[in-house]
Structure 1
Amino acid sequence: MGRFFQIRDDHQNLRSIDYAKAKGSFSDLDEGKYSFMLIHALHQNTKSRQLKSLLTMRSQKTLSIEQKELIIRIMEQSKSMEYTFNVLEDLQAEIQKDLEDLESRIPQHQSGDNRNWMIRAIMARLRLADAKLVSLKR
Structure 2
Amino acid sequence: MISNKTGGLFRLAARLMQSVSSTVHNIVPLTDLISPLFQVRDDYKNLCSEQMASAKGFCEDLTEGKFSLPVIHSIRNSASSNNELLNILKLHTLDQGLKSHALWYMQTQTNSLDYTKRVLSNLHEQAQSALAHIQGQNDPMEAIMVKLAFI
Query: For residues 88 and 145 of structure 2, what CA distance do their matches in structure 1 show?
Result: 35
TM-fit CA distance, 1:46: 5.1
Structure showing greater radius of gyration is: 1
SS in 1 for 2:134: helix
TM-score relative to the length of structure 2: 0.72
TM-fit CA distance, 1:128: 2.1
Instruction: Show the counterpart of 1:37.
Output: 70
TM-fit CA distance, 1:101: 1.2
Write out aligned runs for 1:114-133 (5 A).
Answer: 114-129=136-151
The one of 70, 73, 86 equivalent to 1:52 is 86
The amino acid that maps onto 1:88 is L
1:94 aligns with 2:116: no
Runs of 4+ in 1 over 6 A off after TM superposition: none
1:82 aligns with 2:104: no
The amino acid that maps onto 1:51 is L
Segments of structure 1 that go 5 or more residues without pairing to the other structure are: 104-113, 130-138
The amino acid that maps onto 1:73 is W
Instruction: Show the counterpart of 1:132.
Output: none
8 A contact 2:45–2:52 mirrored in 1: yes
Moved more, 19-28 or 83-92: 19-28
TM-fit CA distance, 1:65: 1.5
More helix by share: 2
1:70 aligns with 2:101: yes
Question: Could you list the per-position Cα deviations for residues 36-92 of structure 1 after superposition, in whole angstroms to 9, with x for gaps in the alignment?
Answer: 10000011015112222222222xxx3411211111111112000000001000111
